[in-house]
Structure 1
Amino acid sequence: MAVRLSDRTNRLGRTARHRMVSDINVTPMVDVMLVLLVVFMVTAPLLTVGVKVDLPEAQAKVIEGDDEPLTLTVKADGSVFLQEAPIDLANLAPRLIAITGANPDARIFVRGDKTIPYGRVMEVMGAINEAGFRRAALVTDLPRKKQRANNAKTGGGAG
């Protein structure tokens, strides 16, 4: 609480020297809210894993890039997701063209569950190719031993 000292006269003509002010101090609340805002801004990009699938392992290099790729996920039941939204293969090409602004060099990552038939992943890759995109890549997990070594070097997780 804050205390305001004043020399005003009250209704009876007496001088009130020490009068309490009943205003709420909002500075601590604003501080807490700003800290929470920063925490959420930092953690939000880390929560964009999307649809949970069991990826196969491969000995491929990690693809480096500075732009955010689109992610297509094929779950174990064969359903396809664009980012986190389910989508039919018939609607995939127009949606990709609309999202990327018809940029054929947009990066698209295809994440397929390791238990689905190879043909289903190739249907998705074919739809991407028919839409005119040239930079589609399959996403896999690093082998366990190599993943642990990579995590120790970078201090992060694999995706």
Structure 2
Amino acid sequence: MAFGTLDGDDDEVMSEINMTPLVDVMLVLLIIFIITIPVINHAVKIDLPRATNQPNDAKPQSINVSIDAQGKVFWNQQEVDDATLDQRISEAALQQPQPELHLRADREVRYERVAQVMAAAQHGGLGKIGFITEPKH
């Protein structure tokens, strides 16, 4: 059975595509899009109050702890012993926001001394420790 033939020749097959159903589908889709686009963009128009605000970016202060080649510890350029260091770390850990500890160590100092200061900071409750280095020239 051949589609689209009116004569008695059943041997020939119609090779043309019937475009009518495709056009019908496209028209239905076009109507659906025309109806739904205004609904999507619909918004209630209101007059909002105007206010100004300042961003509150309170950056925590930083504490500079330096260790010289002999192993002496300096808290913000003041020499401190181990007991004073532990006390100041405990006081700094209670501040809100908690300050950052910037650790500067001489390249000749023993690693053990740097590890002791880091352990004291960790046991004291300071969570943010940064190492300060100098770039190569």
TM-score by length of 1: 0.45
What runs of 5+ residues in structure 1 fail to find an aligned partner?
Answer: 1-64, 145-159
Q: d(CA) in 1 for partners of 2:96 and 2:59?
A: 16
Tell whether 2:77 aligns with 1:116.
Answer: no
Tell me how large the CA RMSD over aligned residues is: 2.2
CA distance in 2, matches of 1:101, 1:81: 20
Q: Could you tell me how far apart the structure 2 residues matched to 1:103 and 1:115 are?
A: 35
Residue number in structure 2 paired with 1:19 = none
| Equivalent residue, structure 2, for 1:141 | 134
Of 68, 72, 83, 1:90 maps to 83
Equivalent residue number for residue 55 of structure 2 = none
Spell out, residue by residue over 1:127-150, the C-alpha distance to the aligned partner (whole angstroms, 9 max, x if none): 101101110111111121xxxxxx
State the alpha-carbon separation in 2 of the partners of residues 104 and 129 from structure 1: 17
Tell me the secondary structure at the aligned position of residue 111 of structure 1: strand
1:80, distance to aligned residue in structure 2 (A) = 0.4
Query: Which residue number corresponds to residue 78 of structure 1?
Result: 71
Pairs aligned (count): 80
Alpha-carbon distance in 1 for matches of 2:126, 2:93:
10
Larger radius of gyration: 2
Q: Deviations over 1:24-82 (max 9, x none)?
A: xxxxxxxxxxxxxxxxxxxxxxxxxxxxxxxxxxxxxxxxx944310000001110010
Tell me how far apart the structure 1 counterparts of residues 79 and 86 of structure 2 sit (CA, whole Å). 14
**Cα distance between partner residues in 2 of 1:104 and 1:66:** 8
Q: Distance in 2 between matches of 1:128 and 1:102?
A: 14
Structure 1 runs of 4+ aligned residues shifted over 4 Å read none
**TM-score, normalised relative to structure 2:** 0.52
The alpha-carbon distance between structure 1 residues 104 and 129, as it changes in their structure 2 partners (threshold 3 A), is farther
